[in-house]
Structure formats: structure tokens, C-alpha cells
Amino acid sequence: MLAGASSATLAKTETCKSTSDKEIAALFDRWNDSLKTGNPQKVVANYAPRSILLPTVSNKPRLSVEDKLDYFKHFLESKPVGTIDFRDIMIECNTAIDAGVYTFRFKDGSAVKARYTFTYVWNGHRWLITSHHSSKMPESE
């Protein structure tokens, strides 16, 4: 034990939100539905104030709200709709990870298959994205 510290001060006092794979999977649907609005502000509202977006179709990491708005403003012009092809969900105390493969279809009929990872944090009121990485699959099928 640390000098001067009691076991009470070392005890974890954080309350863990009870959740399920189904609830975490629904967070992608919430994000995807916000894409369908065409409003970048609704998409960015899914992200925690301190978060990172490593997008599929941009080389620039997006840290600020303004950077994320800029990315989604352009991305939404193509009317993307995502579907999950494969996922694995991991849940810890007030954090969750949803990682796998998704496909985006666009208004011009094109599609891109990409790997993704969303990490989430429970902020006491709702789940927010803390990191989102998406990269085009490197091998053609």
C-alpha cells in the first residue's frame, strides 16, 4: 500500500454502466442514421469532445469538432449508407469497442469495403465515440 493511503482511497469508486452487445451494436445504427440525415453536425454529435477520427477517405486525422465537421460535410455529399459485414464487440467498465468490417454504398452506385474500429465511453448520459478508425480493405476479394 502507498504511504499515507488507506484502502478506502485506493478503492475504485466508479460505477459501471450495465450494457450489452446489442446496445453497443445499436450505436453503429445511431451513427449510420445520423449519416442519412445529411447533416454533419448530427454525425459529429456522436463523438466525445476529446476524440479522434481516422477516416476512410481522408489522410488527415480529425481531432477537433471543426475537422470532423469538415470531413463529414464532404463525405455526406456522396450519400453513404453503411452495413456491418462482420463485428466483434468487447465491453469493459464504461467503455466498449466495436471492431470489424463494413461496406459503404454511395449514391453513384459505388461501394467500399473497409475495416473499422469504434471505441466508446459512457459519459454518464450516453455513449460517445472516443476513437473511430476506418480503412479501406487492402486486398480485393
Going from N- to C-terminal start, the domains of the chain cover 19-136
Q: Kindly give the confidence (pLDDT) of every residue in the chain, 141 residues in length, as a single tens digit, with 9 standing for 90 and above.
A: 444 444 444 445 579 999 999 999 999 999 999 999 999 999 999 999 999 999 988 999 999 999 999 999 999 999 999 999 999 999 999 999 999 999 999 999 999 999 999 999 999 999 999 999 999 998 876
At 13 the pLDDT is 55
Cell of 111: 461501394
pLDDT for residue 111:
95
User: What burial class does residue 116 get, using C-beta atoms within 10 Å of its C-beta: 0-12 exposed, 13-18 middle, 19+ buried?
Assistant: buried
Computed from CA positions of residues 42, 43, 46, 50, in that sequence, does the dihedral angle turn out positive or negative? negative
Q: What per-residue confidence (pLDDT) applies to 138?
A: 87
Instruction: Count the residues in the chain.
Output: 141
Please state, in angstroms and rounded to a whole number, the distance separating the CA atoms of residues 97 and 91. Answer: 6
Write the DSSP assignment of 30-69 as a string of letters: HHHHHHHTT-HHHHHTTEEEEEEEE-TT-SS-B-SHHHHH
Helices (H), 2-140: 7-10, 21-36, 40-44, 65-75
CATH fold label, 19-136: Nuclear Transport Factor 2; Chain: A, (3.10.450)
